[in-house]
Amino acid sequence: QKEVEQNSGPLSVPEGAIASLNCTYSDRVSQSFFWYRQYSGKSPELIMSIYSNGDKEDGRFTAQLNKASQYVSLLIRDSQPSDSATYLCAGDRGSTLGRLYFGRGTQLTVWP
C-alpha cells in the first residue's frame, strides 16, 4: 500500500457546490497532513495543513483529519471555477526531515 492514497477522480461539481476530496494513509505517515493545489502547468502550492483530529477551517476550505480511520479530507465550500485544479494530499512521518509523501492527486473541475 502506498503511504498516501487518493481517489483519483476526476471530480466535477457545479459552481457554488461543496467539493469533497478524500485521502487515506498508512501507518508510515501519521503525523501531519497537507493539501496542495496544483493548476495545470504550474507547481503545487500549499493551501491547508492539519495535525490533530477534527476540523480546521480557513475561509472556504475545511480540512478534516480522523486518525482512527486514517482518513483526511478537504471540503471546498461555494466552489468557484477558479478552484478547478488538481488537489494533492501529502503526509509525513513526523521526523525532523522535510520529506513529504504525496498521493497521486484528484482533479477537480468546477463548472459555471
**Which one of residues 15, 46, 54, 71 is an interface residue with other proteins (CB under 8 A)?**
46
**Which one of residues 15, 45, 55, 58 is an interface residue with other proteins (CB under 8 A)?**
45
**79 close to 16: Cβ distance less than 8 angstroms:** yes
**66 close to 30: Cβ distance less than 8 angstroms:** no
Left if phi > 0, otherwise alpha if psi is -120 to 50, otherwise beta: which for 75? beta
Question: Among 90, 89, 78, 94, which residue's Cα sits nearest to residue 19?
Answer: 78
- Separation of alpha carbons 27 and 82, rounded Å: 34
Q: Going residue by residue from 71 to 90, which x/- string records binding to other proteins, judged by CB under 8 A? A: -----------------x-x
Which of these segments, 10-18, 19-27, 43-51, 58-66, binds other proteins (CB under 8 A)? 43-51
Q: Which is nearer to other proteins, 52 or 99 (CB)?
A: 99
Can you give the C-alpha Rg of the chain in angstroms? 13
Which of these segments, 14-22, 60-68, 71-79, 102-110, binds other proteins (CB under 8 A)? 102-110
Confirm or reject binding of residue 99 to other proteins (CB under 8 A).
Answer: yes
Site of interaction with other proteins (CB under 8 A): 32, 34, 42-46, 49, 88, 90, 92, 96-105
